[in-house]
Chain A
Amino acid sequence: TICVIINLIFLYCRVSALAVPFPSQWEASIAVRSLSPDREPRKGGITRTLSVTENILSVKWTADEARVLRVAIASFLDHLALVMETMDAFGQSVPQ
């Protein structure tokens, strides 16, 4: 089972950052490449940056409104959970 610790930091200026440790850099890289291609649905008002350092996936959001930020983060967490479940269920086939 993938062990996940999520650190969520909300700042007053509507910036949010998330750090997700993965068991390995390989898994973190797979996750970021799966999560990166789709843009935020809203045309403007929010930006998102994804990056990987070793086994840590980092996300940073900047939004004009707290409401937009909250929706984006909730959606991202759903997507992240799905990617993790997929790796957990189908990842054993190909060893790192």
Chain B
Amino acid sequence: MTIVIGFEGSANKIGIGIVKDGEVLSNPRRTYITPPAIADFSFLPSETARHHRGAILTVLREALDEARLKPSDIDCVAYTKGPGMGAPLVTVALVARTVAQLWGKPLVGVNHCIGHIEMGRLITGANNPTVLYVSGGNTQVIAYSERRYRIFGETIDIAVGNCLDRFARVIKISNDPSPGYNIEQMAKKGKQYVELPYTVKGMDVSFSGILSFIEEAAHKMLSSGQCTAEDLCFSLQETLFSMLVEITERAMAHCGSQEVLIVGGVGCNLRLQEMMGVMCEERGARLFATDERFCIDNGAMIAQAGWEMFRAGQITELPDSWITQRYRTAPHCLTLRMITQKTPNAHC
């Protein structure tokens, strides 16, 4: 029996989760929400860190209380080592290091992306999927091969979630509960498709041109009444998600994969899940997705990845526990899945 507590706060969400042998015992979370159109980048690092500092000890108390555990029951403390925003990452790492020392427990630094993947695998039961990781800060197609998570394709500029969030600010959509969710609701009422640039580049994608184009289109077409904001939300989703489906399918074909797992905050989007589901059905593959409890950044996903690392003997010494804003998925976890690997790796 191994119980791991995980600390996540790399962007505007602060969460602490406790996992015991594949079971999520608690997973409280807080979101830093700013007014719409307050800035080009909605939540600034220093403001986000201030929010997290104000909330983290309350969330920690909640996590322990909900799990009905005492600190002495915890076996390992996991935290997000990166990637993410610098100041919020430091805030969370400080608390993780401090409680690890207070309680006399080992510390594990977890890659944020692998946290999403491992929680996705745990919750959905996917064994060796092609992973589409889509959020406000990341857009990657990842597969596990030769003992590493490898990036087969990714955005070459901004993340798809960032594109959606910034478009939301252009048309002044509310940030509550999240701009992406509000775009999704408006898109359901869209009736007219507005053609937008389609910028798949082999296995990679680019979103900055689409964002610039639709920002200009929004000003022109909305003021002249050629289309509604709902039409633009609909059109943006159709274009962006089609691109994501294409690069995912290309990776599946390359690796001979029969499973797709969508993780990250944008993975909550039901239209994306629907489009990916159609592609999988046509290929005779299975689609896995989690609900909003685990799609969105949370502490339990860090605890789960930390659980696997700890059981594989990977510990982070305190002097090496610095955070890093850039932390590539690929170099990570050489021995991960020694324990949980059920079938031979897909041969890529």
Chains A and B are bound partners: yes
State the A residues within 8 Å of B (CB).
Answer: 30-31, 33-39, 41, 75, 78-79, 82-83, 85-87, 89-91, 93-94
Bound complex: CA A39 to CA B325 (Å): 12
Are B319 and A87 neighbours in the complex by a CB distance under 8 Å? no
Knowing A37-B318, A38-B93, A38-B322, say if A93 contacts B101 (CB, 8 Å): no
Chain B interface helix/strand/loop/mixed: helix
For B97, give its contact among A34, A39, A78, A89 (CB under 8 Å): A34
Contacting residue for B60 out of A31, A36, A90, A93, CB 8 A: A90
**10 new A-B contacts at CB < 8 Å, known A78-B49, A82-B91:** A30-B98, A31-B98, A33-B318, A37-B320, A39-B322, A41-B87, A75-B87, A78-B50, A89-B60, A94-B102
The verdict on A82 contacting B102 (CB below 8 Å), with A38-B323, A93-B72 known, is: no
Question: A34 to B98, Cβ gap below 8 A?
Answer: yes
**Once the chains bind, are B57 and A86 in contact (CB under 8 Å)?**
yes
CB 8 Å contact bits of B72-108 with A (1 = contact, 0 = none): 1000000000000011001101110111011110000
Contact B90 A38 (CB under 8 A): yes
Check B95 against A93 for contact (C-beta < 8 Å). no
Q: How far is the CB of B59 from chain A (nearest CB, A)?
A: 12
Identity of the chain A residue whose Cβ is nearest the Cβ of B101 in the assembled complex: A30
Indicate whether B68 reaches chain A with its CB closer than 8 angstroms. Answer: no
Which residue of B is nearest A75, CB measured? B87
CB contact under 8 A between A94 and B103, given known A37-B319, A37-B320, A82-B53: yes
Q: Which residue of A lies closest to B72 (CB)?
A: A93
User: Given A38-B322, A93-B71, A93-B72: A33 and B101 within 8 A (CB)?
Assistant: yes
- How many Å lie between the Cα of A86 and that of B104 in the bound state? 15
Query: Taking CB as reference atom, which chain B residue is nearest A93?
Result: B71
CB contact under 8 A between A86 and B95, given known A93-B70, A93-B102, A94-B102: yes
Check B61 for interface membership: any CB of A closer than 8 A.
yes
CB of B57 within 8 A of CB of A85, answer: yes
Give min CB distance, B69 to chain A, whole Å. Answer: 11
B98-A41 in contact (CB<8A): no
Q: Check A93/B103 contact, CB under 8 A, given A37-B318, A41-B86, A83-B94.
A: yes
Contact check, B53 vs A90: say whether CB atoms are below 8 A apart. Answer: no
Min CB gap B109→A, angstroms: 10
- Contact status A82-B95, CB under 8 Å: yes
Whole-angstrom CA separation of A30 from B93 in the bound complex: 13
Residues of A within 8 A of B71 (CB): 90, 93-94
Q: Flag B314-337 by CB within 8 Å of A: 1 or 0 each.
A: 000011111100000000000000
Contact of B319 among A36, A82, A83 (CB under 8 A): A36
In the complex, chain B residues whose CB is within 8 Å of the CB of A75: 87
16 CB < 8 A contacts A-B:
A30-B98, A31-B98, A33-B101, A37-B319, A79-B94, A82-B91, A85-B57, A86-B94, A86-B102, A87-B102, A89-B57, A90-B99, A90-B102, A91-B102, A93-B72, A93-B103
Measured in the bound complex, the distance between the Cα atoms of B72 and A93 in whole Å is 8
